[in-house]
Amino acid sequence: MSDRMLTMAEAVREAMTIAMEEREEVFILGEDIGIYGGAFGVTGDLYHRFGPERVLDTPISELGIVGAAVGAALSGMRPIVEIQFSDFTAQAMDQIANQAAKIHFMLGGALHVPLVLRTPQGSGTGAAAQHSQNLEPWFASVPGLKVVVPSNPADAKGLLLAAIDDPNPVIFLEHKLLYKIPGRDPVPEGATRIPLGVSKVVRTGKDLTIVATGIMVNKSFEVAEKLSAEGISIELIDPRTISPLDTAPIFESVEKTGRLMVVQEGPSHAGYINEVIAQVSGSACFGNLIAPIKRLAGMNIPIPYAPQLEKVAVPQIADIEAAAREIVKNWR
């Protein structure tokens, strides 16, 4: 067992490096991923290691970039697209939602699209409404896309390797505040894959089940550690992929704890956590609930600029802590 601690940016880069060494068909394309090393430094030195053809700098043309990746994927390549901010997937949405997502099904299985689209999302950088969104529901609502939301470097590496192997389009949403921080767990050397569609029980507990992805896993973990000192025992589940969504561990956990809180950074309205709630409501574990399900999410507003406004727009550690304490104390 290695004890290497990497940041998310390093782990993602390592996965891309391994995939590019393994297969010639893998290449990366996107804006400023070459000499610049990526807007968030994720591609780093890959341009110097693999050259300008396999780390392909593009013009500012998101629709063209994703379209070219779809065409290349249909023709024997395995492109990894980097879209500089997830907000700009909007420009490319035709190629993502109408083309990539539908080709395999719509064409009777004649063709398929092995494509990964990596993109940073989330608030907390003071970049305001057009650079801070969490767009999971855009992608999760389109059949034909797999959607991965890694919460830590080790998972990011294993999941990205699996995503690159996958013969289907995979949207890989990286929270930009996670890029520079090391995870709690070491990142294994080598090419270990983590299959898509398998939830992870991050921490076991008996009083409350928290389901969270991405940066909300870190925040919830901190809360769980803190509240354990107060005798509140939290089980934390990270679905890791929200499409497909592995619900079995969630149901099992809810059966045990009888309390459920779902946490996401994006706005509550039509967020992916509502799918978690719907699935729990329709399953047998619903009968084990002794408390109303708690939903903690971002406000239904665009992300504001000023730090004092940006903070209230999305759940903070203190909000998760207060909500967790309340649900356990009030429902016995």
Partner 1 sequence: MTANPLLMGHPLSSPEHAKHALLYMYRIRKFEEAVEDLFGRGMMHGTMHLSIGQEAGPTGACLALQITDQITSTHRGHGHCIAKGADLTRMMAELLGKKIGYCGGRGGSMHIADAETGNLGANGVVGGGIPIAAGAALAAKMRKSGTVAVSFFGDGAMNEGAFHEAANMAAIWNLPLILFCENNKYGMSSSTEKAFKLENLADRGKGYGIPGVTVDGNDVVAVYEAAEAAVARARNGEGPTLIESVTYRWKGHSRSDKNLYRTKEEIEEWKDKDPIPNFIHKVLDKGILTQEQIEEIQKVSTEQIMQAVKEAAAAESATPDGLLEAVFKAVSA
Q: How far is the CB of 83 from ligand TPP (least distance, A)?
A: 8
Nearer to partner 1, 124 or 188 (CB): 124
- Residue 60 makes contact with ligand TPP by CB under 6 A: yes
Q: Which of 313, 314, 323, 328 binds partner 1 (CB under 8 A)?
A: 313
3-class SS string, 46-84: HHHHHHHHHEEECCCCHHHHHHHHHHHHHCCCEEEEECC
Show Cβ contacts of residue 180 under 8 Å, excluding neighbours closer than 6 positions: 7, 8, 9
Question: What gap in Å lies between CA 181 and CA 128, rounded to an integer?
Answer: 22
Q: Closest CB to ligand TPP belongs to which residue?
A: 88
Q: How far is the CB of 130 from ligand TPP (least distance, A)?
A: 7
Q: How far is the CB of 312 from partner 1 (least distance, A)?
A: 4
Site track for partner 1 across 66-105, x = CB under 8 A = ---------------------xx-xx--------------
Counting residues that bind ligand TPP (by CB under 6 A) gives: 6
Q: Does residue 62 have an active-site annotation? A: yes
Task: Select from 10-18, 125-133, 216-224, 234-242 the region that touches partner 1 (CB under 8 A).
Answer: 125-133
Q: Does residue 104 have an active-site annotation? A: no
Residues 1-60 that bind partner 1 (CB under 8 A): 31-32, 34-37, 39, 57, 59-60
User: Which candidate, 204, 220, 222, places its Cα nearest to that of 212?
Assistant: 220
Q: How far is the CB of 8 from ligand TPP (least distance, A)?
A: 20
Question: What gap in Å lies between CA 81 and CA 38, rounded to an integer?
Answer: 12
Nearer to partner 1, 87 or 275 (CB): 87
Q: How far is the CB of 60 from ligand TPP (least distance, A)?
A: 5
- Residue 253 exposure: Cα atoms within 13 Å on the Cβ side: 30
Phi, psi of 82, deg, nearest 5: -110, 120
- Residue 84 makes contact with ligand TPP by CB under 6 A: yes
- Which helix (H) or strand (E) segment holds residue 104: the answer is helix 103-106
- Residue 58 makes contact with ligand TPP by CB under 6 A: no
The Cα-based distances of 165 to 23, 24, 312 in angstroms read: 10, 13, 39
3-class SS string, 245-306: CCCHHHHHHHHHHCCEEEEEEEECCCCCHHHHHHHHHCCHHHHHCCCCCEEEEECCCCCCCC
User: Which candidate, 49, 56, 48, 52, places its Cα nearest to that of 72?
Assistant: 56
Buried b (16+ CB within 10 A) or exposed e, 238-264: bbbbbbebbbebbbbbbbbbbbbbbbb
Single out the catalytic residue among 10, 14, 82, 131: 131
Q: How far is the CB of 7 from partner 1 (least distance, A)?
A: 16
Task: Select from 5-13, 19-27, 271-279, 306-314 the region that touches partner 1 (CB under 8 A).
Answer: 306-314
Residues of this chain that bind ligand TPP (CB under 6 A) = 31, 60, 62, 84, 88, 91
Active site residues: 62, 131
Residues of this chain that bind partner 1 (CB under 8 A) = 31-32, 34-37, 39, 57, 59-64, 87-88, 90-91, 125-131, 299-302, 304-309, 312-313
